[in-house]
Amino acid sequence: MQEELNNEEINFSYYIEILLKHCWVIICFIALGAFCAVMLNTFMRPAYKATALMMINQENAGKIDTNPYTSFTAEEDYYRTQYQLLESRNLLQKVYNQMNLGQYEEFENPSGLKKLTKAIDVSPIARSRLVNLSVTSYDPALATEIVNNIAQTFVAENISNRISMGQDVIKALESTQRSKGEQELLNSMPQVVNSDFIKSLKLQETELLNKQAELSSKYTAVHPEVISVKRQLSAVQNKIALETQRLVQSIKIELSGQFSGNNIRIVDNAVVPEKPIRPRKLLNLAIGLCVGALFGVLFAFIMEFFDQTVKNSEDLENKLKLPFLGFVPKEKLKKNEAEYAFMLKKGNFLLAENVRNIRTMLAFAKAQEPNAPILITSALQGEGKSNLSTNLAVALAQAGSKVLIVDGDLRRSRLHRAFRLSPELGLSNIWTSEGEKAAYAANIQPVKDVPNLFVMTAGQRPPNPAELLNTPKLADFIDWAKKNYDQVIIDCPAIVPVSDTLLWGKYIPLAVFVVRCGQTNVRIAQIGIDKLNKAGIKILGAVIGHYKTEGLAYGKYGYYKKSYGYYEDK
């Protein structure tokens, strides 16, 4: 169970490798983001923000709320209303007309009022009755003038509205000889109408009026009962008048207190801003770098997703359906060093260790025919097949086997340079020499610094390589080689461009397929594999050549880079 969980863990080293592989793409995107930010900072028109500080109190501030359960909601609604009024179309239209803002390019018609609305910002200060009223403009002086005009107009309108709402009531209250209409206005005020005491007196008045009407229909005006009801009715009406007068007086006192000052005032007028709020150069640069990096990483993973090249063992097994034999790392050689130099050095060099691992994997793959010759080929040129052939031949020779490596590429021979041997002797000569067995041995050269290793180079390039390989003499040579050497390796040409490998495969039905890390296209490789399969050549497995050891690729195998080219187990 624990092993299954470990297999499901995210392989962060894989993602880091992707980022390192496409680091230049990410760097280019980061540079592009920084460039865009610089251009934005350079060409964006500076904008200035002027701010005025206002204080807004409720109209009934200081009064005791008779319903404390609704006080909080009522207060919140009041302030929200005021904030909306500060941005109202009516208020802004007045300021727009007063200042003749249409003459400015920034607020010119037909959408000048809309632009003014967008330029305004109302920001309440938390846990206070203060609010910041701001206006943004390309002209700092104009922004200051607009915001101060809006604040002053709002305060003036608030005073005007309060006075106009209560001027009829004030006139009626201050009149000593009220007209019938003024008295009716006072009697209709909510404080009078909603008084419980006046309600009870009016109920008594109604009852006495009804009783008076009933008695008047039976008796004369001087009847004692009629006189008694009239007296009671007069007393009740006097009480109503007195109570009404008392309430009116209290209303007058309350209103005089309310209108004695304004509940909205300007605390600080706006001053001309010195610095623009846009562009924010450092912020824009930071955003440009972050966005560039984000798009760079995203593009790197998209490239990796659509990348149809072979990069690791999983690609070999899942996309090409081939067993994985191992890696051949890409190592830098010093000047004048042989291509197999790492195989001869002391120490646990990564290339040597991996080639020896491939040797072991091949031994398992050829368990039933341990001495069977093998072909080493690839889909296209330059994928590392000759490099593998050279180092694998050395590894087999170091294991005690008598090894013959043949340069089977008569078109583009390479082994004579890898082993620093004469190109005059080689495979092409066996078709022109007399005495077959003697010709075979005469064209094979030993490698001086590697015991048990013998090389047959391609020799001089013939005009018709395919015709030469398609003769019985090739079969005779292979039979001779199998009898005289423990291991025979044929370094064949690429399978897709030419058919030479298929001609070798008529007599050697086992092959190792080489792909280049991050460059061999899966579809091209599949074409080569299909050719080998149709020719009846069994692919023992695949090797990834030119594998880059930078990054964390080999961390999971226990190899750590200690110095140039040197690795040791830790």
Is pTM beyond 0.75? Reply is no
Nearest residue to 159 via CA among 316, 232, 265: 265
SS3 50: strand
**How many Å apart are CA 33 and CA 36, to the nearest integer?**
5
**How many Å apart are CA 374 and CA 476, to the nearest integer?**
16
Q: Which amino acid is at 279?
A: P
Preceding peptide of 279 cis, ω within 30°: yes
Count of other CB atoms within 10 angstroms of residue 339: 19
Contact 429, 463 (CB under 8 A): no
pLDDT for res 4:
43
Contact 542, 325 (CB under 8 A): yes
**How many Å apart are CA 133 and CA 5, to the nearest integer?**
59
For every one of its 570 residues, what pLDDT tens digit does the chain have, with 9 covering 90 and above? 444 444 445 567 778 878 887 899 999 999 999 999 999 999 999 999 999 999 998 765 555 454 554 566 778 888 888 899 999 999 999 999 999 998 998 898 888 899 999 999 999 998 889 999 999 999 999 999 999 999 999 988 887 776 554 555 656 555 556 666 666 666 666 666 677 788 888 888 888 888 888 888 888 877 888 888 888 888 888 888 888 777 777 766 665 555 545 688 899 999 999 999 989 999 999 999 999 999 999 998 888 788 788 888 888 888 889 999 998 888 888 888 888 888 888 877 888 899 999 999 999 998 888 889 999 999 998 888 999 999 999 999 999 999 999 999 988 888 988 898 988 888 888 877 655 667 788 889 999 999 999 999 988 888 888 888 888 888 889 999 999 999 999 999 999 988 889 999 999 999 999 999 888 888 999 999 999 999 999 999 999 988 876 543 443 333 434 333 333 333
Report the side by side order of strands in the sheet with 120-124: 120-124, 130-137, 48-56, 264-268
338, 342, 343, 349: CA torsion to nearest 10: -170
Tokens matching residue 286: 């930071």
List phi, psi (to 5°) of 514: -110, 135
pLDDT for res 345:
85
Contact 241, 273 (CB under 8 A): no
The bridge status of strand 453-456 relative to strand 403-407 is parallel
The bridge status of strand 453-456 relative to strand 445-446 is antiparallel
Nearest residue to 382 via CA among 518, 505, 510, 541: 518
